[in-house]
Structure 1
Amino acid sequence: MTDPAYFERMYARSDDPWGFDDHFYERRKRELTVAALPRARFVSALELGSSTGALTEQLLARVDRIHCVELHPRGVEIARRRLVADSDRVRFEVADLITWTPGETYDLVVASEVLYYLDAEPLARALGWIRDQHLAGATVVAVDWRHPVDEHRWSGDEIHRRLTEVLSTASGGYRDTDVTIEIFEPAGVESVAVRDGLAPSATDGPSGE
């Protein structure tokens, strides 16, 4: 795990230590992430490494309830202030992903720029229960920075390679020089257009009947 002192320094520096609210890149990344969600509405989401709640705020437009798991109490404090109007829809938990495991199932799991802070064993453990959530029906969304960062244990591309190993090929997403956003839907789920009646199902005959 990245040295906890790194996060202490970041939160001591600012209430927006990674510039989530200041940078166009960050705002655009969140908009792309929410736009890529393959369902109009989710009932319950798990957000890993929710930090100051910037992404949480936008996810609430598409999710009824969100369980936010964040390592640093300061991040949770800032997020609570940001999301005070939606406090009945957001549950915060201060926890370390090295040892944490979910005690319930969700229909959406969001891991945005968090998994590459984990060492090999905790990463394998987290990927194991993410796979279990996925097999139980959860859509998994992974978002990762693609440039080198000293504090990261893995590159963003390596994280997505490992996710593909345990979840199979992503069903959608977005990638450019800076960021990878991938959506992993449960097996057998048809495309958004098919579910909306705009395209024929793979199980339909040639005429769509």
Structure 2
Amino acid sequence: QPLSPLPGDEALLGGDFLEHFSRGYEVFAWTPAQDASRRPYSSHDAEAVFDGVHNGAPDPWNYAGSWYERRKRALTLAVLPAESYAHGLEVGCSIGMLTEGLADHCGSLLAVDASGVAVRRARQLLAGRPGVRVEQMVLPASWPEGSFDLVVVSEVGYYLSREELGQLWDRIEASVDPGGTLLLCHWRHPIAGWELDGDTVHALARQRLGWRTTGLYQERDFVLEVLAGPDRGDRA
């Protein structure tokens, strides 16, 4: 009802709005509660989870067709601070679409993924590319031998528990050459079933490693960050 006959005191709720409240029913949006008793996923679940994802579709994230994915790959390659690297490591290569671009910048490149299905498809895509090797490996419990001047962790950090992610940074720190590059790229929204999100992954990397950020790009959906490993003097 109007507060008074004076201008400005008219009723704010019109007849069309009030009609909703004269119905004999109401409408609610309902989201089922998550099972609080189920633990978040971790690297122990990665092989089974992502084998299932890749068995469901040959390109489950539409890497080839999605403009978002193609643009993100182009930006990822564009932020590399050096044109070429001697030894690269890609953590979580999926079917190898980003691997293909990274191979153009690496003398040798090792790409790993927890999913055997994804690894087989990546090997098919990259067959005949010199210096490229694709292996199934569940990190951080397993870790490749050797050292690397480029490590790429793209869209995979939140598929680890917080403790496992700390172990991953320790593994990387121990195997990155002095002055090497760590490139991170992650989706910035919550990941259903997993403990972490992209912004948290990057914050924990900076906190654990203490490396200098030399490049940072972020937008609503993803964040790209380049961290520079300490040179020999800094390590000493």
- Would the TM-score normalized by the shorter structure come out above 0.5? yes
**Match status 1:17 vs 2:60:** yes
| Deviation, structure 1 residue 173 | 2.8
CA distance in 2, matches of 1:35, 1:8: 30
CA distance in 1, matches of 2:49, 2:204: 25
Q: Aligned to 2:165, which of 119, 123, 138?
A: 123
Contact 2:158/2:191, CA 8 A, preserved across alignment: no
Matches within 5 A, 1:17-166: 17-86=60-129, 88-134=130-176, 136-165=178-207, 166=209
CA distance in 2, matches of 1:106, 1:134: 5
Task: Tell me the percent identity.
Answer: 33
Task: Find the residue that maps to 1:159 and give its secondary structure.
Answer: helix
Unmatched 5+ stretches in structure 2: 1-41
Contact 2:151/2:183, CA 8 A, preserved across alignment: yes
Task: Find the residue that maps to 1:81 and give its secondary structure.
Answer: helix
Give the greater-gyration-radius structure (CA): 2
CA-to-aligned-CA distance 1:51-79 (integer Å, 9 cap, x gap): 10000001112112110111011111111
Residue in structure 1 matched with residue 24 of structure 2 by the alignment? none
Aligned length: 188
Instruction: With the length of structure 1 as denominator, give the TM-score of the two structures.
Output: 0.84
CA distance in 1, matches of 2:182, 2:100: 18
Letter in 1 for 2:157: L
Instruction: With the length of structure 2 as denominator, give the TM-score of the two structures.
Output: 0.75
CA distance in 1, matches of 2:194, 2:109: 26
| Deviation, structure 1 residue 6 | 2.5
Task: Find the residue that maps to 1:12 and give its secondary structure.
Answer: helix
| Deviation, structure 1 residue 99 | 0.8
CA distance in 2, matches of 1:151, 1:90: 32
CA-to-aligned-CA distance 1:152-172 (integer Å, 9 cap, x gap): 320100000011111434110
Task: Find the residue that maps to 1:29 and give its secondary structure.
Answer: helix
How much is the aligned-residue C-alpha RMSD, in angstroms? 1.8
CA distance in 2, matches of 1:117, 1:103: 22
Letter in 1 for 2:101: Q
Letter in 1 for 2:195: R
CA distance in 2, matches of 1:182, 1:84: 30
CA distance in 2, matches of 1:56, 1:94: 14
Unmatched 5+ stretches in structure 1: 190-209
Contact 1:105/1:136, CA 8 A, preserved across alignment: no
